Amino acid sequence: MAFTELVETQRKYFRTGETKPVDFRKKQLLKLKKFIEENREALAEAVWKDLRRRHESTEILEIGMTIGEIDYFLKNIDDWVKPTHVEKTFTTALDKPVIEKDPKGVVLIVSPWNYPVSMILLPMVPALAAGNTVIVKPSELSANVAATFEKLIPKYFDPKYVVVVNGGIPETTDLLKERFDHILYTGCPPVAKIIMAAAAKHLTPVTLELGGKCPVVVEDDADIDISARRIAWGKWLNCGQTCLAPDYILVNGTVKPKLVAAIQKYVREFYGEDVKASKDYARIINQRHFDRITGLLEKTEGAVLLGGESDRTDLYIPPTVLDVEKSDPFMHDEIFGPVLPIITVKSFSESLEYIADGEKPLAAYIFTRNEAKVKRLLNETSSGGVTVNDVLMHITVDTLPFGGVGVSGMGRYRGKFGFDTFTHEKSVLHRGFFGESLQASRYPPLNQQKLDQ
């Protein structure tokens, strides 16, 4: 099926100019908030069906976060849409140079399954706030959430303004043949290459929000107990299926036993003796991903320090900690599951070198009280973001940009950075008809006198 008509309907609507006034944009953000508030139970239930994540977690991790983002936009949008007046040059001293904030047009948002609600809504907020129309393609893997959006969004938005397109690879492939004014894709690097190649055919700008192996460096001067608690929370949240989740730990041999014991303690504290029965522990999204992770568990040569078992019928893999070498199969690609490998290093420099030798991750984490070590990590490694002495938390700060670097992504969003991503900053110079004598030197015929001016 060709999506030409859908895209053209949105483009035609965009060109009416109705989406541009700031009051219209604010009304739409409020409508989006109403959609979330009136359907928060239905959305949380759909996530439960897809990922067996408890409603309360979805409420905090996805729904609350998105409502917070909408409120932040409503508070700031009046300032952000205003043209910015900039400094003048000598020859434009009598003029008015301004940066106008132009919406781009028709935006495509392609979302993943791991945080299926917020990965649709968080990019939608800036796209709509910037005055665009939006076509959303939820992940077919989180089928319940995809169906819920498809059913409910038309009750709040006209398809000429916001529309949900469901389907798998064939539908997405067709959709990508169309010409968009911006594409925001969240997912994995191999698919990001397909998205970028399709966008290149139309010279459409892309924002790519990807993943990577997020390292955690734990140094001996850190509070090991608190470090373990924070790492365990961030790792097993959503069963390890979080783009910012700690992927592996780098620690020296002296600290390792204490760290492992503390991680084991907190896993018991969070999920009880019977993790499988815990309401707080989610499941793997599907059998393909389950087989991918258990396949690696069969190949690993690491010692199992915690967990290790699995149940395919229940898509269950418990919190698993492994003591591995750098060559372990778990150390090649992003794990995106509940397995946490620990690598023993001899020095802090070895940790930094190991991180810098790999692909640039979406985030890097360091636990230390030593400011010089923090500085070295910031200077000697590259990553989308960093949280010092915690994991994941930099994503909660509206005033920080969120995005990757290198293989973990390009571009950024959240807060003002999201507004800017979906806005074209148009340079405009307003001139009058006065001061013509100041311009004389640019008109032919040129002569020495004009050149000397």
**H/E stretch holding 350:** helix 348-357
For the CB of residue 197, give the shortest distance to ligand NAD in the complex, in Å. 10
Binding pattern to ligand NAD, positions 305-334, x when CB under 6 A? -----------------------------x
Q: Annotated catalytic sites, by residue? A: 209, 243
For the CB of residue 359, give the shortest distance to ligand NAD in the complex, in Å. 12
**C-beta of 186 vs 383, nearer to ligand NAD:** 186
Q: Is 169 in the site for ligand NAD (CB under 6 A)?
A: yes
Q: What are phi and psi of 84, to 5 degrees?
A: -100, 125
Sheet strands side by side (includes 248-252): 303-306, 320-324, 339-345, 248-252, 215-218, 363-367, 385-388
**What's at 298, amino acid-wise?**
E
For the CB of residue 114, give the shortest distance to ligand NAD in the complex, in Å. 5
Q: Is 409 in the site for ligand NAD (CB under 6 A)?
A: yes
What lies within 8 Å, CB to CB, of 224 at 6+ separation is 218, 255, 258, 259, 262
Neighbours of 402 (CB within 10 A): 24
C-alpha dist (Å) from residue 135 to 21, 138, 196, 446: 20, 10, 17, 53
Q: Is 191 in the site for ligand NAD (CB under 6 A)?
A: yes
Contact stretch for ligand NAD (CB under 6 A) within 60-68, 72-80, 105-113, 342-350 = 105-113
The 8-class DSSP code of residue 246 comes to: -
Contact stretch for ligand NAD (CB under 6 A) within 20-28, 39-47, 165-173, 224-232 = 165-173
Distance linking the first and last C-alpha atoms of the chain: 63
Q: Which residue, judged by CB position, is nearest to ligand NAD in the bound state?
A: 211
Contact stretch for ligand NAD (CB under 6 A) within 139-147, 296-304, 347-355, 374-382 = 139-147
Q: Is 125 in the site for ligand NAD (CB under 6 A)?
A: no
Mapping DSSP onto H, E and C, the string for 192-233 reads HHHHHHHHHCCCCCEEEECCCCCEEEECCCCCHHHHHHHHHH
- Binding residue for ligand NAD, selected from 111, 133, 238, 300, defined by CB under 6 A: 111
- Binding residue for ligand NAD, selected from 84, 91, 173, 287, defined by CB under 6 A: 173
For the CB of residue 138, give the shortest distance to ligand NAD in the complex, in Å. 6
The 8-class DSSP code of residue 447 comes to: -
List binders of ligand NAD among 11-50 (CB under 6 A). none
Positions in the binding site for ligand NAD (CB under 6 A): 110-115, 119, 137, 139-141, 168-169, 172-173, 186-188, 191, 194, 209-211, 243, 334, 336, 362, 404, 409
